[in-house]
Amino acid sequence: MNSIPAVTYPVHFQDKAYISLSNLIEKNNYSTIFIVVDENTFEHCYPKFIQNLNTDKKIEVIEIESGEINKNLETCIGVWNAITELGGDRKSLLITLGGGVITDLGGFVASCFKRGIDFVNIPTTLLSMVDASVGGKTGVDLGVLKNQIGLFANPEMVIVDTDYLKTVTEREIKSGTAEIIKYGVTYDTNLFNEIKNNPKLQISDLIFRSIEIKNEVVLQDPKEKNLRKILNFGHTLGHAIESFYLESEDKENLTHGEAIAIGMVCECYMSEKLLGFPSEKVNEVKEVVLSIYNKINLLKEDFADIMELLKHDKKNVNGQVNFVLLNDFEDYKIDCKVPEALIVESMEFYNQ
Ligand code: GLY
């Protein structure tokens, strides 16, 4: 696969990507190289990484605990302290090796440390390959509120090595698939149809196209003033549902993709009612979602809590929730206000 030149950095693929990384390290003569991992990526991904990297620089490994629950400022402080104790300075390089938690948090840590050091993202999950690691969003959660603290900062490069996908569970692959469905519905109907018509499809084949789409969108609108908002399709309600399950003690957490998939079905329904998005396409999206993910029964008694969490969405202005909705596939409308009753109705529609 050829590299994709992204906003200000390249996305390199497969084994030859490590040559590019080794060259970057040599060219910039970094003082220290830090790699942020979690216990899983240290065990399953780091051995391949270190074997392929060609450098005589010392690599300092900083391990954080896996899980969305640890994507917070306390973890960042731990990493900043470790970098400081290990002699990090402005000429240090930070490499992230992991899923969205590691790439988002690691990018944030790097961009704040001494007002910013270089970083490289090496996503190891489908979700972070097709979304989190590309596009320059970095940050952490605030309590259960997702990605409330963060900034835009671009890595020096992104390395996508699909070999790492062998180390993740089927459930995690499905989580990333939701983002690919999102690209299909909002930007490339062919991509959606490929997923719809090929249940046995190797999802890794769709990674390249997904990154191309994300990159095209981000190039046109890096700071999310307009077009980039389509990447939030399904995420407005989806994030609220994800946060709700994260904070409920008696409910199993949903993966990001599981929550976003529900959000997409609901937001297609809102699109139908408010913008005339064709009802057969709402059903198509719902069918595809239910063919991939287990049905979750959203309880009526939980709707009020989910609505409360919606009020914290980052796109809100003056307390008003803003949705990205669809007139049709590949035809979006941003900043849509949706009556509360319709949001509730959309969750009932998903439940049916
Ligand atoms: N994950 C959505 C975006 O990068 O804009």
pLDDT tens, position by position, 280-314: 999 999 999 999 999 999 999 999 999 999 988 77
Q: For the ranges 84-98, 118-132, 194-208, 295-309, which has the lowest average pLDDT?
A: 194-208
pLDDT at residue 154, rounded to an integer? 96
- Report how far ligand 1's centroid is from the alpha carbon of 132 (Å): 7
Q: For the ranges 108-122, 137-151, 278-292, which has the lowest average pLDDT?
A: 137-151
- Element (DSSP H or E) covering residue 24: helix 17-28
- Angle 263-264-268 from CA coordinates, rounded to 5°: 120
- Report how far ligand 1's centroid is from the alpha carbon of 235 (Å): 10
Q: Which atom, in ligand 1's list, is nearest to the CA of 136?
A: 4
Of 108, 126, 137, best ligand 1 pocket probe by most atoms within 8 Å of the beta carbon: 137
pLDDT at residue 216, rounded to an integer? 94
Contact 271, 277 (CB under 8 A): yes
Phi, psi at residue 8, to the nearest 5°? -130, 20
How many angstroms separate the CA atoms of 341 and 136, rounded?
A: 35
Sequence-distant (6+) residues with CB within 8 A of 41 are 97, 98, 99, 102, 124, 167
- Report how far ligand 1's centroid is from the alpha carbon of 228 (Å): 7
In the chain, the domains with their CATH numbers are: 4-167 (3.40.50.1970), 170-351 (1.20.1090.10)
Which residue CA neighbors atom 2 of ligand 1 most closely? 231
Q: What residue ranges line ligand 1, CB within 6 angstroms?
A: 131, 135, 137, 228, 231
Q: Which atom, in ligand 1's list, is nearest to the CA of 229?
A: 5
pLDDT at residue 316, rounded to an integer? 73
pLDDT above 90 for 350: yes
pLDDT at residue 70, rounded to an integer? 96
Q: Is 254 helix (H, G, I), strand (E, B) or coil?
A: coil
- Report how far ligand 1's centroid is from the alpha carbon of 206 (Å): 18
What is the per-residue pLDDT across 16-70, written as a single tens digit (0 to 9) for each?
999 999 999 999 999 999 999 999 999 999 999 999 999 999 999 999 999 989 9
Q: Which atom, in ligand 1's list, is nearest to the CA of 214?
A: 4
pLDDT at residue 7, rounded to an integer? 64
Average pLDDT over residues 80-87: 98
pLDDT band at 204 (very low <50, low <70, confident <90, very high): confident
> Percentage of the chain surpassing pLDDT 70?
99
Average pLDDT over residues 235-253: 93
| Nearest partner of 128 among 211, 188, 32, 189, judged by Cα | 211
Average pLDDT over residues 75-84: 98
Average pLDDT over residues 215-230: 94
- Report how far ligand 1's centroid is from the alpha carbon of 268 (Å): 19
Q: Which atom, in ligand 1's list, is nearest to the CA of 131?
A: 1
pLDDT above 80 for 8: no
- Report how far ligand 1's centroid is from the alpha carbon of 135 (Å): 7
Sequence-distant (6+) residues with CB within 8 A of 57 are 25, 30, 32, 33
Question: Which amino acid type is present at position 104?
Answer: D
- Report how far ligand 1's centroid is from the alpha carbon of 54 (Å): 32
pLDDT above 70 for 195: yes
pLDDT above 90 for 5: no
Q: What is the 3-state secondary structure (H, E, C) of 197-232?
A: HCCCCCHHHHHHHHHHHHHHHHHHCCCCCCHHHHHH
Q: Name the average pLDDT for the chain.
A: 94
pLDDT at residue 22, rounded to an integer? 97
Which residue CA neighbors atom 3 of ligand 1 most closely? 231
Which residue CA neighbors atom 4 of ligand 1 most closely? 135
Q: Write the CA distances from 304 to 146, 240, 301, integer angstroms.
A: 19, 11, 7
pLDDT above 90 for 318: no
pLDDT at residue 95, rounded to an integer? 98
pLDDT above 80 for 200: no
> Percentage of the chain surpassing pLDDT 90?
88
What is the number of helices (H) and of strands (E) in the chain?
14, 11
pLDDT above 80 for 6: no
What is the per-residue pLDDT across 150-162, written as a single tens digit (0 to 9) for each?
999 999 999 999 9
